[in-house]
């Protein structure tokens, strides 16, 4: 699966960073004799078992006994600092990728907030007369038919999040998000890379139709999958 942060511009940036900082120590020295300058400390979370004292119930009264406890273990998340040898370009690449991933998460959250706000702030119509009170007593805005048609016409059919190869089955896959939801669909798009057979080519020439290189595209497969999801939901 191709990571979402991996774009052509960012891959070019990584290549420039590797070329600039190649074989430099973490302090930026070329051919540095100090081995401590190649020690990179990275934190990561680990689950460890910590000793705890569990309460004991009194069978006679049903309350908790204060004079007796039962020893046991409970999982706890702790931060562990790992030391490893690394060059400057390795540390720079890891930090740069982490920054890009954080920026992408922030951008996705912002896009989702804008999409929801576009419905609530009157971008697609007025909601003062169409407020509906739910069973829980919360008043929620509702689209009028005209504004709903306008919103549906401007909304994309799906959001393509990532494409790549399935590492288990070695086939091309795509990840799409259904608009206005938090549902992600993992689709097998190998049919888009299957060329037509010799018989299909002959039939196309016999009927005077152009011979297509592929019978279906990735976009068509994504559209059909999202439409099928909506049909099952309704």
Domain assignments of the chain as residue spans, ordered by start: 1-7+85-121, 122-155, 157-234
pLDDT average, residue stretch 28-37: 76
Q: Which residues contact 46 (CB under 8 A, 6 or more apart)?
A: 77, 78, 79, 80
50-83 tens-digit pLDDT = 888 888 888 888 788 888 888 888 888 888 776 6
Residue with the bigger pLDDT between 74 and 148: it is 74
Residue with the bigger pLDDT between 120 and 187: it is 187
Q: What is the DSSP letter of 201?
A: H
Q: Where are the beta strands (DSSP E) in 182-229?
A: 184-188
1-29 tens-digit pLDDT = 567 777 878 888 888 888 887 778 777 77
pTM of this structure: 0.43
Q: Is the torsion defined by CA of 204, 205, 207, 209 positive or negative?
A: positive
* Burial of 55 from C-beta contacts in 10 A (0-12 / 13-18 / 19+): exposed
Q: 126: closest CA among 145, 111, 150, 143?
A: 143
Neighbours of 31 (CB within 10 A): 7
Element (H, E) at 20: helix 8-20
Cβ atoms of 35 and 43 within 8 Å: the answer is: no
Q: What residues are paired with 139 via a beta bridge?
A: 133
Is 118 in a helix, a strand, or coil?
helix
pLDDT of residue 129: 40
Q: 196: closest CA among 177, 215, 180?
A: 215
Is 218 in a helix, a strand, or coil?
helix
Q: Out of 26-30, 71-75, 117-121, 215-219, which region has the weakest mean confidence (pLDDT)?
A: 117-121
Q: 108: closest CA among 155, 153, 161?
A: 161
Percentage with pLDDT > 90 across the chain: 3
Q: Out of 4-18, 146-160, 175-189, which region has the weakest mean confidence (pLDDT)?
A: 146-160
Cβ atoms of 27 and 39 within 8 Å: the answer is: no
Cβ atoms of 184 and 176 within 8 Å: the answer is: yes
What pLDDT band is residue 218 in, cutting at 50, 70 and 90? confident
Q: What is the mean pLDDT of the chain?
A: 78
């Amino acid at each position: 699966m191709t990571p979402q942060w991996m774009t052509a511009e960012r891959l070019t940036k990584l290549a420039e960073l590797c070329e600039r900082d190649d074989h430099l120590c973490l302090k930026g020295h070329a051919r540095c004799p100090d081995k401590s300058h190649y020690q990179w400390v990275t934190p990561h979370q680990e689950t460890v078992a910590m000793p705890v004292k569990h309460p004991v119930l009194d069978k006679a009264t049903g309350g908790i006994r204060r004079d007796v406890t039962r020893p046991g273990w409970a999982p706890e998340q702790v931060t562990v600092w790992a030391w490893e040898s690394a060059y400057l370009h390795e540390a720079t690449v890891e930090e740069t990728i982490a920054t890009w991933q954080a920026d992408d998460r922030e951008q996705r959250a912002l896009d989702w907030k804008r999409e929801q706000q576009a419905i609530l702030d009157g971008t697609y119509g007025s909601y003062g007369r169409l407020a509906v009170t739910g069973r829980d007593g919360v008043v929620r805005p509702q689209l009028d038919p005209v504004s709903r048609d306008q919103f549906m016409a401007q909304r994309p059919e799906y959001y393509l999040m990532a494409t790549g190869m399935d590492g288990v089955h070695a086939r091309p896959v795509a990840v799409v998000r259904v608009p206005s939801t938090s549902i992600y669909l993992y689709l097998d798009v190998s049919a888009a890379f299957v060329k037509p057979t010799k018989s299909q080519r002959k039939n196309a020439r016999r009927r005077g139709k152009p011979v297509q290189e592929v019978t279906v595209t990735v976009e068509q497969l994504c559209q059909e999958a999202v439409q099928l999801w909506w049909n099952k939901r309704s």
